[in-house]
Structure formats: C-alpha cells, structure tokens
Amino acid sequence: MYNDAFAKKDPAVREEVIDILARETTLKDKALYDKMGLPGLNPNGTVNVADLKRQQDYYLASGLQKNQADIDKLVDGSFVENALKELGSYR
C-alpha cells in the first residue's frame, strides 16, 4: 500500500495510507505529507546491501562506528527469496 500510495500515486490508496500514518505516528498534519520527502521502501522486502556498506563506510570514517561489520553476513536474503517464490513480486 505504501508504494501504491507514494510511488504509484494512487489517490485513494494515498489518502488511506496518509490517514494511517497520521493516526499511528507523531506527524498528525496530513497536509505535510504532500510537502515532505518520504523514504522509498522496496515492496519486495529486499535489503540494499550496497547502501548499508556505503553507510557503514561513512560511520567508520566519521568515527561514529569503531569496528567494521561484515554486512554480507548480517543480511540474510533467503527469507525474502522464499517469500517471493510463494507470493510473487510486487507489481
């Protein structure tokens, strides 16, 4: 629904999703959802491993993170792969 609302811009779904967000988050002003940038979410549930590595590089370089984690070992895509076999990809 989130992608249908904000990526596909389906007006009916967008209204419903904004109602849910306004009810369940601290951002209550529905008009702000038209003005703000919203995060993109992969509707199939995959994790952007390359971006996690890029973020880690930033945190390491800035001293906010002390030790490098092996991102490839932290992300297990098998659950998403199995779900997609059963459910199919988002369209």
Is the pLDDT score of 88 beyond 90?
A: yes
pTM of the model: 0.66
User: Which DSSP string corresponds to 10-65?
Assistant: -HHHHHHHHHHHHHHSS---GGGGGTS------TT----HHHHHHHHHHHHHHTS-
Domain extent listing, the chain: 2-34, 49-87
- pLDDT value at 18 more than 90: yes
CA dist., res. 68 & res. 19, Å (int):
40
Mean pLDDT of the residues in the chain:
95
pLDDT at 40: 84
- Whole-number pLDDT of residue 31: 96
What is the predicted pLDDT for the residue at 73? Answer: 95
**pLDDT by residue (tens digit) across 45-65?**
999 999 999 999 999 999 999
How far, in Å, are 4, 22, 46, 80, 89 from residue 32 at the CA level? 18, 10, 28, 32, 31
Question: Residue 25 has which token pair?
Answer: 């988050």
CA atoms within 13 Å, Cβ hemisphere of 6:
16
